[in-house]
């Protein structure tokens, strides 16, 4: 698409995502080492991470542009993405933005519009879109072979183990909670498979005055089929999905990315292997997404996913937060009663 073969790349934000994902991904591309810059409010941290691959630290996007940056990876807290993305686009940079891309659909649209207006690529790290099984299911569902959806369920949860450096996930009200964090993947997969015309019929959260850690919602298709989604940062859930259609059903484990199960209207479940990129570790999908971005920017390859593709999921998440009411949690009642 772009073929910027001499410019530099700036990694914005030197927290856990950069250390865990982007640093290893970039270190696997030694030909880029002299063309990578690291940017963070904490310059020492930027210098430390940069030094690991012989890259330079910079103190601002402007300085990065002056140094020749034509592309940026935004790995900052997600409530900062909107402002930083617009600033980077103003400087003519192509972007790969960590998920969730923004905290509202309006912000995501603005980034998409600006990217298109300026002819700059804006990709998002919704890396589950690279799962072979999810691609196979997308093709199957969209083929119409299974008929209309009658019900669905996604269960996505585990204890929060993300090694956040600043704790912003938990301390910043704008960061919201588990729905925006895990939902950025799962709700995106749901809308990708089932369409962008889903609505929210029920949403429940446990964020008393802070970040929700449990979120249950029911989405509905235009014909009224319910899809239950449960998210948790407190406990491990089965991390599974099951969708029942008029002419059959599919189910699988979210992190079994190379296979899913399928049955006919009454038949037994059979395992379907999905061909394609099948690494041993989940992190490899982030490395792959980074490679795809670099190839798109520096070698003119086709981008697999842009910010516009994930706007329906961000819109649905935004709607869910707007509609959400607190769970009834009777184990807290005795303390709440004393407040009155």
Partner 1 sequence: MSVPRVFVTGATGFIGGWTVEAMRLSGRYEPVAAVRRWQTAVRIARFGVDMRHCDLLDRSALEQAMTGCEAVVHTAVGDDAVTIQGTRNVMEIARKLGIARVVHLSTISVYGKGEGVFAEDAPLDPGGTDYGVRKIEAEKIALEANCDAMKVIALRPTIVYGPFSSQWTVNFADRIAGGSWGTFGEKGAGTCNLVYVCDVVRAIFAALEADRGFGEAFNVNGPEAITWNSYFERLAHAMGLPPLQPVSAGKAQLKAKLMAPVRSFGKYILSNHRGFMVALLKSSGFAERAIRSVEGGLKRTPTPDQFALYGRKAFFPNDRANATLGYAPQTSVEHGVDLSVKWLKHNCII
Q: How far is the CB of 333 from partner 1 (least distance, A)?
A: 9
335 lines the binding site for partner 1 (CB under 8 A): yes
Instruction: Return the bridge partners of 232, or none.
Output: 157, 214
Q: Which one of residues 167, 270, 275, 322 is an interface residue with partner 1 (CB under 8 A)?
A: 167
142 and 61 Cβ atoms separated by less than 8 Å: no
Nearest to 293 by CA among 67, 10, 55: 10
304 lines the binding site for partner 1 (CB under 8 A): no
Q: Which one of residues 151, 164, 319, 323 is an interface residue with partner 1 (CB under 8 A)?
A: 164
Residues in contact with partner 1, shown as a per-residue x/- string from 209 to 248 under the rule CB under 8 A: xxxxxx---------------x-xxxx-xx----------
Separation between Cα atoms, residue 33 and residue 29, nearest integer Å: 7
Q: How far is the CB of 261 from partner 1 (least distance, A)?
A: 13
Instruction: Return the bridge partners of 8, or none.
Output: 69
Q: Which one of residues 170, 228, 272, 301 is an interface residue with partner 1 (CB under 8 A)?
A: 170
Report which secondary-structure segment, H or E, holds 118.
helix 105-118
339 lines the binding site for partner 1 (CB under 8 A): yes
Q: Identify which range of 29-37, 66-74, 202-210, 307-315 contacts partner 1 by CB under 8 A.
A: 202-210
If you ran DSSP here, which 8-state letter would residue 222 be given?
A: T
Q: 């019929």: which residue's tokens?
A: 201
285 lines the binding site for partner 1 (CB under 8 A): no
Q: Which one of residues 143, 270, 280, 302 is an interface residue with partner 1 (CB under 8 A)?
A: 280
The token pair that represents 165 in the structure block = 């450096």
171 lines the binding site for partner 1 (CB under 8 A): yes
Separation between Cα atoms, residue 231 and residue 217, nearest integer Å: 9
302 lines the binding site for partner 1 (CB under 8 A): no
Separation between Cα atoms, residue 327 and residue 216, nearest integer Å: 9
188 lines the binding site for partner 1 (CB under 8 A): no
Q: Which residues of 306-334 are buried (b: 16+ CB within 10 A; e: fewer)?
A: bbbbbbbbbbbbbbbbeebeeeeeeeeee
325 lines the binding site for partner 1 (CB under 8 A): no
Q: How far is the CB of 258 from partner 1 (least distance, A)?
A: 10
Phi, psi of 282 (to 5 degrees): -60, -40
Could you list the residues that contact partner 1 (CB under 8 A)?
Answer: 155, 157, 159-164, 167, 169-171, 173, 177, 206-214, 230, 232-235, 237-238, 280-281, 327, 329-332, 334-336, 338-339
């Amino acid at each position: 698409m772009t073929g910027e073969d001499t410019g530099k790349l700036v990694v914005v934000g030197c927290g856990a995502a950069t250390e865990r994902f982007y640093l290893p991904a970039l270190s696997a591309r030694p030909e880029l080492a002299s063309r990578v810059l690291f940017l963070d409010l904490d310059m020492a941290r930027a210098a430390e991470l940069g030094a690991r691959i012989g890259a330079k630290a910079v103190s601002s996007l402007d300085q990065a542009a002056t140094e020749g940056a034509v592309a940026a990876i935004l790995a900052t807290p997600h409530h900062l993405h909107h402002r930083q993305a617009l600033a980077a686009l103003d400087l003519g940079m192509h972007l790969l933005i960590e998920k969730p891309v923004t905290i509202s659909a309006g912000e995501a649209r603005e980034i998409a519009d600006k990217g298109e207006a300026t002819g700059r690529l804006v990709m998002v790290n919704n890396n589950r879109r690279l799962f072979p099984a999810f691609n196979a299911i997308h093709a199957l569902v969209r083929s119409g072979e299974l008929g209309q959806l009658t019900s669905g369920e996604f269960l996505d949860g585990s204890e929060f183990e993300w090694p956040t450096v600043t704790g912003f996930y938990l301390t910043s009200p704008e960061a919201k909670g588990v729905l925006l964090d895990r939902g950025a993947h799962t709700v995106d997969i749901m809308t990708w498979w089932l369409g962008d015309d889903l609505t929210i019929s029920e949403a429940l959260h446990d964020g008393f005055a802070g970040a929700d850690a449990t979120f249950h919602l029911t989405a509905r298709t235009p014909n009224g089929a319910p899809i239950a989604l449960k998210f948790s940062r407190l406990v491990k859930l089965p991390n599974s999905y099951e969708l029942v259609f008029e002419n059959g059903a599919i189910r699988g484990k979210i992190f079994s990315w190379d296979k899913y199960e399928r049955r006919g209207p009454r038949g037994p479940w059979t395992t379907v292997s999905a061909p394609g990129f099948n690494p041993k570790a989940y992190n490899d999908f982030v490395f792959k997404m980074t490679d795809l971005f670099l190839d798109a920017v520096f070698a003119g390859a086709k981008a697999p996913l842009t910010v516009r593709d994930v706007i329906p999921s961000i819109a649905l998440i935004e709607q869910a937060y707007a509609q959400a009411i607190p769970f009834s949690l009777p184990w807290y009642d005795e303390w709440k009663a004393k407040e009155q």
